Amino acid sequence: MKIGFVHSGETINDNSFNEMVVVGLRKLQKERQIKVLPRKGGFSLDATVKAIESLLDEEVRVIVVNGVPVGNRFGEFALDHTDTTFILNDAKIDGYPNIISIDYAHGMGSCLVGALCAWQTKTGKVGFLGANQMPVVKEFLAGFRQGVEYSGRDVEIVEKYVRTDVSSKGFEDPELANSIAVCMYSGGVDIIYAVAGLSGNGVIQAAHSTGNLVVGVDSDQDHMAKGSVLTSMVKRMDIAVYEEGLAVLDGNYVSGCKSYHLSNNGVGLSDMKYSRHLILPGVLKKLDELKLKLVSGKVKLNSSVE
């Protein structure tokens, strides 16, 4: 049995978005003796379709795709290949019998990040460094802002982007991200939430070199600069891809949109095993309380990503 994986960007080795999926696929590979065929999908529909077509030529009938750029236009493509099941990460595409579309509650996880950063900052100034200004990045920002507000502290948010439009290059320029982060730290920011894929690695390096803190994203990046990464907002794409892939292999999958959030461990903060000694007394308890309020709906997130 073969499973294809069309990763976003130029590299599968990003310590972030793509590598998290690889963890889930490796687990499937070990348990079911499947062969995983990776392909570079870039960030455009044309590149994604080209990568998928190369897998179809090899008669791959289960394909995982990271980041589908154009929504329901992909659905039209899927209808031409109904003998193939597609598992799409970070997508909201419904109504197609051969598409499993996985949406992650970025806002929920980012709300926890915002509160933690606001409670931990010593300068009263925290940063958000996004890859670009596309809606999914703004979704992280909206949750982050609400977490800072929830903290009850008067904290300034400095908002920057690796690319100031929707250019996909913002996800793959760690050198520029490093330079921007150093400037943010020089300006009084002491914690940066980096939502930038591979570019985030440059922010982690900046935090380590300047003696400040950073929050990683997608995978658990705490080990990349022990003690400099305060926490990571982990998207459990490994769990989602494993569970949905297993259902497909067993022939009992359900198509449509699936939501992975706080209550089913789809998103959440890392264990902070290298930074726990930095956490102020009472903060972890307050984070647990906020998590419960988010799950119960007592704290409602603003859906706006303006």
Q: Domain residues of the chain, as ranges? A: 2-104+236-260, 106-234+275-296
Q: Is CATH 3.40.50.2300 correct for 106-234+275-296?
A: yes
The fraction of the chain above a pLDDT of 70, given in percent, is 97
Q: Fold identical between 2-104+236-260 and 106-234+275-296?
A: yes
* Non-local CB neighbours of 236 within 8 Å, separated by 6+ positions: 20, 260, 265, 266, 267, 268
Phi-psi region for residue 152, left (φ > 0), alpha (ψ -120 to 50) or beta? left
pLDDT of residue 276: 95
Q: What 3 state SS string does 146-168 have?
A: HHHHHHCCCCEEEEEECCCCCCH
pTM of the model: 0.92
CATH number at 2-104+236-260: 3.40.50.2300
**pLDDT digit string (tens) for 99-140?**
999 999 999 999 999 999 999 999 999 999 999 998 889 999
